[in-house]
Amino acid sequence: MDGFYTALVSTTPTILWPALSPPCTPEDADAQTRDVARRFALVAAAGEMATAWGILPWPEGEASRSAETIMGAWLALRGGSGAAEDTEALARVRAFIGAHGESRFPRVVDGETIGGTLALSDTGRVTINRAGFRKKVSGEAAFLFLPETWKGEVFTGADGVAGAKALDNAGFLLRGEGTKLQRRERVPEFDGPVRFYVVRASIIEGEEGAA
């Protein structure tokens, strides 16, 4: 077995890297995903070497295929190949919208005003503990999150700014001027524009947003 261990240590896992190429390890995979893929590649390398030397009764390529299958299962359980924190950020926002999208985000009527100010779709409805608004922004349906809600509820115990950047990278955040993550929008009951984190409603569908 000494010869096996010596050969294994001298054989880098990148020898079988093609077996773990995209879609299991996309080119934009984060560092953690690539590190895990290399570990699976090492296991595959050991299996292929043991097969070649007659130690295991497996057909050639079986170890590589098995490692690729397990790698794919790990990615599916993790939720993708991007940074885990980014995946969690999107999940937090989706969960909040799913739970409160109707009750805590009153809809602003597109283009309609009352007394020169923007109007809500249901003026007789009282919104308890408002989290923001729903309205069209640049022609797109969007959820406007009040910064206090974003930080204190959506990202409680986490970094709200980092969460906004994650949504921005995924194409779901409608940024403000320049590189500002918050965007000024006019909404009812406020005299002037208010800063919000503006999230494309398409985030609910789970598809990647526009860059």
CB contact at 8 A, 93 and 163: yes
Choose the final residue of a domain: 76, 99, 119.
Answer: 76
Residues 169 and 200 in one domain: yes
Cβ-proximal residues to 197 (8 Å cutoff; 6+ apart), any chain: 144, 145, 147, 150, 164, 167, 173, 181, 182, 183
List the chain pLDDT tens, one digit each, 211 residues. Answer: 566 566 555 544 444 455 444 445 666 676 777 888 888 888 888 888 788 878 889 998 898 888 888 888 887 776 665 567 788 899 999 999 999 999 999 999 865 444 445 666 665 577 889 999 999 999 999 999 999 999 999 999 999 999 999 999 999 999 999 999 999 999 988 888 999 999 999 999 865 555 4
Residues 96 and 125 in one domain: yes
Residues 96 and 70 in one domain: no
Q: How many CA atoms are closer than 13 Å to the CA of 151, on its beta-carbon side?
A: 6
Can you tell me which residue has the tokens 């980092």? 162
Q: Provide the domain limits for residue 144.
A: 84-205
CB contact at 8 A, 99 and 154: no
With 0.85 as the threshold, say if the pTM is over it: no
**26 assigned to some structural domain:** yes
Residues 160 and 196 in one domain: yes
**118 assigned to some structural domain:** yes
Angle of the 62-78 helix axis to the 31-52 helix axis, nearest 10 = 160
Helix (H, G, I), strand (E, B) or coil at 21: coil
Residues 175 and 128 in one domain: yes
